Amino acid sequence: MENTLNYRRRYKNSISTVSNLLSCLDVSSSEYEDFKALAHSDRYKEFYVPKADGTSRHVHAPHKLVRKIQRRIVRRIFGSPKRNPWDKHRKKGGAIIWPEYIYGSVPNDCYNNTMISKDYVACASKHCGSQSVLKIDIKDFFDNITPELVFNVFNKLLKYPRAVANALVDICCHNNMLIQGALTSSYIASAVLFDVEPAIVQRLKSKGLSYTRLVDDITISSRNPEYDFSFSLELVRQMLYGKNLPLNETKTNIIRSSTIDILIHGLRVSFKEPRLPSDEVSRIRASVKNLESLAKIADYRVSRDYRRSFNRCLGRVNKLKRLGHKQYISLQTRVLNILPLPSKMDITRLDSFIHKLEGWYANHKEEYWYRRLYHQAHYDLNILNRTFEHSSRRFRSRLNDIKPMCDD
d(CA 277, CA 270): 11
d(CA 391, CA 348): 10
CA 288 to chain centre: 27
d(CA 166, CA 151): 7
pLDDT score at 407: 57
d(CA 144, CA 77): 23
Cα R_g (the chain), whole angstroms: 24
How many alpha carbons lie under 13 Å from residue 392 in its C-beta half-sphere? 17
pLDDT score at 221: 97
pLDDT score at 54: 72
pLDDT score at 111: 66
In the structure, how many helices (H) and strands (E) does the chain have? 17, 15
pLDDT score at 367: 83
d(CA 269, CA 322): 15
Contact 2, 111 (CB under 8 A): yes
Contact 267, 255 (CB under 8 A): no
Q: What is the pLDDT along the chain (408 residues), one digit of tens a residue?
A: 457 899 999 888 889 999 999 999 999 999 999 999 999 889 988 877 777 667 777 778 889 899 999 999 999 999 854 444 444 434 467 899 999 999 998 888 776 667 788 999 999 999 999 999 999 999 999 999 999 999 999 999 999 999 999 999 999 999 899 988 789 999 999 999 999 999 999 999 999 999 999 999 999 999 999 999 999 999 999 999 999 999 998 889 999 987 788 999 999 998 889 999 989 999 999 999 999 999 999 899 999 999 999 999 999 999 999 999 999 999 999 999 999 999 999 999 999 999 999 999 999 988 888 999 999 999 999 999 999 999 999 999 999 999 998 655
d(CA 194, CA 14): 18
pLDDT score at 58: 72
Burial class (CB in 10 A: 0-12, 13-18, 19+), 367: middle
d(CA 325, CA 322): 8
d(CA 192, CA 291): 44
Amino acid at site 41? S
Q: Taking the model in full, what pTM does it have?
A: 0.86
